[in-house]
Amino acid sequence: MNRALSSALLTLSLALGLGLACRKNLAAPMKNIPAGTAHFQFTRKIQGPVELTLDGVRVSVAPTAKNKKARALIVTGLAAGKHRFFLYSPRDAFGPDQGEFEITPTNGVHLVTFTQAFNAVLYGKPDALPAAEGIPGVKAVLVP
């Protein structure tokens, strides 16, 4: 009995180790992030819409194609230096939902953002927000 139990535990630990080794690494970007770009990588696909505030100014976020969920938010056209951000969605919760990142003159930044389904509007539709002011030259888009 003891030998069978140890054999089962060994098999289980090997299967678990193999599963973890094959898991996609979210902490490392898929490719180099170009200068002036912030890449928010979500841990699960999100429905959207997403509101983004950069340095106290709301930036318009382009949605994905209809019926597609987003895996990342890519913000381009950022100046070098430190930037403060705030992410909000009526359907998803983000962690961290606010913080600070730094863009260097030669590289962009890759941020892993933990996401969870969260419906803030229980009945009806959410109130429409006014149009975002935007920052000249900065574009944000959700990508599948």
pLDDT of residue 22: 46
Number of H helices, E strands in the chain: 1, 10
Higher pLDDT, 133 or 9: 133
Say if domain 25-143 classifies as CATH 2.60.40: yes
Question: Where in the chain are the domains?
Answer: 25-143
pTM of the model: 0.76
Whole-angstrom CA distances from 96 to 28, 101, 113, 116 are 17, 12, 6, 11
Give the model confidence (pLDDT) of 50-107 as tens digits: 999 999 999 999 988 887 899 999 999 999 999 999 999 888 899 989 999 999 999 9
pLDDT (mean) for 30-51: 89
Residue type, 30: M
Whole-angstrom CA distances from 69 to 17, 39, 63, 82 are 30, 16, 9, 29
d(CA 71, CA 38): 14
